[in-house]
Amino acid sequence: MSKVLGIDIGGTSIKVGMFSTDGKLEAVTKIPTGEIVSEAAFAVVTEGLKALLADNGVTPDEVIAIGLDVPGPVDDDGKVGMLANIELDPEGLQAAIKRTFANANLAFVNDANAAALGELWQGSAKGANSFVLIAIGTGVGGGVVANGKLVSGAFGAGGEIGHITVNRDETANCGCGRKGCLEQYASATGIVRAYKKACAAKGTEPVELSGPTDTLSVFNAHRAGDEAAVEAIAQMCDYLGYAMAQISAVTDPQMYLIGGGVGGGFNLYAEDLRNAFRKYCLAPSVATRILPASLGNDAAMYGCAYQALLERG
């Protein structure tokens, strides 16, 4: 029976899912990796894939599509651009996989775009024609689907929602080198930074934080009535709602899905975010739904498998 593999590539390991062609996740494994730039490293990956199949009574010839998501831009032609946080030779890995899985179509997808496709295939956006996934973690990523198709862009920058300019008066640099990007305010790091700034302005002590991305503690402080936490989350919603209104003026999606680590607190700020969006958006877009994503950390694994199936036709 035909199978599809979805490979979620991380800096220290990759997570692999084996799927049926109708989207049922049948098995998962993790393969430890470091720099994926040598034949020895490629062999670790392909052997791990073969072991997953063997454990489930599947042969390499039965794999018809393989998708890989990468933390970097991938253009409309499937060409991988800059990979800032991982050492990966995409062409070398592709050649090694092709040698092992001769019958399989191979696709590369940006990780945030893959998460959007996963939600389209088997998650909160199943059956939707157009939506935008916003993945909020250490940074802010996104995936745009229009007319049922992923919008990756000519240069792979489609869905770089975190780098929409929302504050032209900002003086601090974003990680991208520009100033005033959404990521500076709506990411986990941005929320924690805003919370500390609000505490300093009010002359209050922040709650104990485990690190610069500890939004869980900020959310808990918000629930306890901490005014600085309430202010920080309100700022996040205001900037995010403003950015979403700009996106709607271009793509007018049916819905937004909020995912990533910060998405776990969605119920806490959902109404504030919806109100901010409605405040800024054009009147026809008021009915746009804003919902939580449902596949969690598996979304990208689903999505890259789905993209490989789509490209196979």
CB of 308 within 8 A of CB of 300? no
Where in the chain are the domains? Answer: 3-117+298-312, 127-293
- Confirm whether pTM is higher than 0.85: yes
Which amino acid appears at position 103 of this protein?
Answer: N
Domain covering 3-117+298-312: architecture: 2-Layer Sandwich (3.30)
Whether 3-117+298-312 shares its CATH topology with 127-293 is answered yes
CB of 15 within 8 A of CB of 26? no
> Which two three-digit tokens encode residue 115?
């998460």
Per-residue pLDDT of the chain (313 residues; tens, 9 = 90+): 899 999 998 767 899 999 999 999 999 999 988 889 999 999 999 999 999 999 999 999 999 999 999 877 777 777 777 665 578 888 899 999 999 999 999 998 888 899 999 999 999 999 999 999 999 988 898 999 999 888 988 888 889 999 999 999 999 999 889 999 999 999 999 999 999 999 999 999 999 999 999 999 999 999 999 999 999 999 999 999 999 999 999 999 999 999 988 999 999 999 999 999 999 999 999 999 999 999 988 999 999 999 999 999 7
The 8 Å CB, 24+ separation contacts for 230-236 are 231/194, 231/195, 231/198, 232/191, 232/192, 232/194, 232/195, 232/197, 232/198, 233/191, 233/268, 233/269, 233/272, 234/272, 235/185, 235/194, 236/185, 236/186, 236/190, 236/191, 236/194, 236/269
Domain covering 127-293: architecture: 2-Layer Sandwich (3.30)
